[in-house]
Amino acid sequence: MKIVREALAGTLESSDLMVRIAPHPDLEIVLQSEVMRQFGAQIEAVARDTLDKLGVTAALVVIEDKGALDCVIRARLQTVVQRAAEEWTAEWSALS
């Protein structure tokens, strides 16, 4: 899936995260988290897995985490990709 515009999803409230996405030649994830030491690797793994399932191979993704659960990370990423993508189809909405 091609990212064609910048987009934003989420909040900076406790137990949530803010995700920004923009066109970029490669896939780059920048992660800032209050729980980086304990869960940084897990947050990045969930983000990469979600982006892979959505077919995103080139984008700059900035995640500002405030202790979000994995399901919230997936939901915010799906939303931001939907807002920034060239096209969106219903088949991409199932992230089983």
- Mind listing the domains of the chain with CATH numbers? 7-86 (3.30.230.10)
User: What is the total residue count of the chain?
Assistant: 96
What is the CB-side half-sphere exposure of residue 60 using CA atoms within 13 A?
6
Q: Are strands 17-22 and 7-10 parallel, antiparallel or unpaired?
A: antiparallel
Quick one: pLDDT at residue 1? 87
Burial of 12 (0-12, 13-18, 19+ CB in 10 A): exposed
Per-residue pLDDT band for 93 (boundaries 50, 70, 90) equals low
pLDDT digits 0-9 by tens, 52-72 = 999 999 999 999 999 999 999
d(CA 82, CA 11): 17
d(CA 29, CA 82): 17
**Predicted confidence (pLDDT) at residue 45 exceeds the cutoff of 90:** yes
**Predicted confidence (pLDDT) at residue 43 exceeds the cutoff of 60:** yes
